[in-house]
Chains A and B, each alone.
Chain A
């Protein structure tokens, strides 16, 4: 077999990640002598810039990690090679094990264009110390009482905020990445646009309610830190944070440790719901080694290697979604937490909103939404203007 060098861009420069990927690459090379795979670590902040420059410059990598925010763009652009056929033909791949739910974002016309190697549910980390100190009921108690809903959750946050600490943080939202607020507004059963992506629903009544709820939490009760205030849950400064479970590693240990808990998102007016964040790997369709790249991707995501990946990245494979598998790689979490939060979350979770041309829509909406993050904002008017601006792009 000819010498083939595959190149894959990733945004992690972490040694452990690289070691794992190299191990998988070595395994692949044993099966296909003469094939090498190298992993280029690009800085996360400029990942898309660099990747785009490489593509524009005519030097696209063979494979690339793809952010969920750009998923729609990549999947719909035709830049990626179709995967379904090769995956299905690969022995022992068990394509059906990869849940329909988890691959929705990565399909176009039923064809799979990227493999979601990381599927991570949003959940609430809780600082029980702060909450009991403030004299509120802990989420665990509320769950037990069957009263774990957003009204109560935000009350806890407000109570804690009154003591001088902070209430609830939507991690990475920072008043910029507004799509992370999906972890709240899905409780109202709403989304920025309709399922087919053609109608803006930002100004719908449910969304207005949800956003008003968030606005009140920020500016009336102070349950959420305001814009321009950086607070970190993991240093023990806040009662709760919505984030992906992979952040469990940030929990402090030793002196700084506090009594923490991991609970599912509270229910909203529309009932229970789950949200997941994803990252995928795609193979570019324009290279010389497309087939080999797709084959490598199939190898990388087969059950055996998926299990390896699961130590860092929650899997999309049903067979791996159980407390035992996840427990070996997430020793911090109790089986109960894994079952209730992770397995349930991934199984039922809906990915964050996405759309073709999402980056631009995101920016435009971001700019419009800035008007919302003022104490005296008119929620409905702002959301209407968001819709006005983004409707032409849908």
Chain B
């Protein structure tokens, strides 16, 4: 279907896409513009599409009310660690399931897939007990370890497995003849070639970790340890009411970098998924 469209079709497609875009873009637009509106304008009805009065002080207040820079760093480094860890362990497991023949491989893979089926709410209490036993409450460890081994990592393993299945077998055999052992083959041949799939996995994992909500709230208690989605809930006035404009400014700052990363990486992302032959 990737053929040049006739001019009439082009207009049609652009038109359709632009209309469809409204429900996708309006809330974000509202978020961004409201973050620079005085609070009384935010709920004005009908809403101003373009703000009439600007109040940029909200962005300053974000940093005054919370250790926001610290929280930003927390989110960033946790997401980075989770992404790196997932990429490593999932590609290892994905590689083995795709490429190495060992007894019970299929059974083990099925067991692994259970991880994909469990909502976070279901296991949060036992996990809390486990981490309490390890004395890791109010540390970042749960937020790093659970995603690396939980549902998103299983999805990543699945993607990596699909990718490695499609990778030409001869490359590895050439490497074996060239004198490499399994791990070296994985590390120097398979992994560098898995870049596109790794890219897709990285974006998925990063997004998941970046947006994690339930776990931080349950596991973290001091503001200096908070992550961004959790920090967003903390912008309140003296009576617990939400400081909407400040909260939205923080939300904007939370979303923008990820959006920018997506803009830059989206081709890699789409192609990575295309290459990984993501099939059931």
Asked if chains A and B are in direct contact (CB within 8 A), the reply is yes
Instruction: Please give the distance in Å from A361's CB to the nearest CB on chain B.
Output: 23
Nearest opposing residue in chain A for B44, CB measure: A235
Complex contact A53–B125 (CB within 8 A):
yes
**Contacts of A246 on B, CB cut-off 8 Å?**
239
Complex contact B217–A57 (CB within 8 A):
no
Complex contact B125–A56 (CB within 8 A):
yes
Complex contact A40–B221 (CB within 8 A):
yes
Complex contact B239–A249 (CB within 8 A):
yes
Q: Which of B191-220 contact A (CB under 8 A)?
A: 214, 217-218
Complex contact B237–A13 (CB within 8 A):
no
B76 beta carbon closer than 8 Å to chain A:
no
Known: A53-B125, A232-B43, A249-B238. A59 touches B137 (CB 8 A): yes
Q: Complex Cα distance A56/B233, Å?
A: 23
**Contacts of A312 on B, CB cut-off 8 Å?**
238-239
A46 beta carbon closer than 8 Å to chain B:
yes
Per-residue contact bits, chain A 27-57, to B (CB 8 Å; 1 contact, 0 not): 0000000000010111111100110011011
Complex contact A42–B129 (CB within 8 A):
no
**Contacts of A43 on B, CB cut-off 8 Å?**
217, 230, 233-234
Complex contact A17–B238 (CB within 8 A):
yes
A11 beta carbon closer than 8 Å to chain B:
yes
Per-residue contact bits, chain B 156-187, to A (CB 8 Å; 1 contact, 0 not): 00000000000000000000000000000000
B128 beta carbon closer than 8 Å to chain A:
yes
Known: A45-B233, A57-B125, A57-B128. A14 touches B240 (CB 8 A): yes
Complex contact B40–A56 (CB within 8 A):
no
Chain B interface extent, by class: 20 to 34
Known: A14-B237, A54-B128, A249-B238. A40 touches B222 (CB 8 A): yes
Complex contact B43–A58 (CB within 8 A):
no
Instruction: Please give the distance in Å from A11's CB to the nearest CB on chain B.
Output: 6
Per-residue contact bits, chain B 124-155, to A (CB 8 Å; 1 contact, 0 not): 11001100100001000000000000000000
Instruction: Please give the distance in Å from A76's CB to the nearest CB on chain B.
Output: 22
**Contacts of A53 on B, CB cut-off 8 Å?**
124-125, 128, 218
Q: Complex Cα distance A117/B232, Å?
A: 26
**Contacts of A54 on B, CB cut-off 8 Å?**
128, 218
Instruction: Please give the distance in Å from B261's CB to the nearest CB on chain A.
Output: 27
Q: Complex Cα distance A38/B137, Å?
A: 15
A196 beta carbon closer than 8 Å to chain B:
no
Complex contact A16–B238 (CB within 8 A):
yes
* Among A13, A15, A46, A249, contact of B217 (Cβ-Cβ < 8 Å): A46
**Contacts of A58 on B, CB cut-off 8 Å?**
129, 132
Nearest opposing residue in chain B for A232, CB measure: B43
**Contacts of B44 on A, CB cut-off 8 Å?**
235
**Contacts of B214 on A, CB cut-off 8 Å?**
46
Q: Complex Cα distance A329/B99, Å?
A: 71
Complex contact B222–A38 (CB within 8 A):
yes
Per-residue contact bits, chain B 242-258, to A (CB 8 Å; 1 contact, 0 not): 00000000000000000
**Contacts of B125 on A, CB cut-off 8 Å?**
53, 56-57
**Contacts of A235 on B, CB cut-off 8 Å?**
40, 43-44
Known: A15-B65, A44-B240. A252 touches B234 (CB 8 A): no
A259 beta carbon closer than 8 Å to chain B:
no
Nearest opposing residue in chain A for B226, CB measure: A41
Could you pull out 30 A-B pairs where Cβ atoms are within 8 angstroms? A7-B221, A9-B221, A13-B223, A13-B233, A13-B235, A14-B237, A14-B240, A17-B238, A38-B221, A41-B234, A42-B217, A43-B230, A45-B233, A46-B233, A49-B217, A49-B218, A50-B217, A50-B218, A53-B218, A54-B218, A56-B125, A56-B128, A57-B132, A58-B129, A58-B132, A59-B132, A230-B43, A235-B44, A252-B40, A312-B239
- In order of increasing CB-CB distance, the 3 nearest A-B pairs are A57-B128, A43-B233, A13-B234
With A46-B233, A54-B128 given, name 13 new contacts (CB 8 A): A7-B221, A14-B237, A40-B221, A42-B217, A46-B214, A49-B218, A59-B137, A235-B44, A246-B239, A250-B241, A252-B40, A256-B40, A312-B238
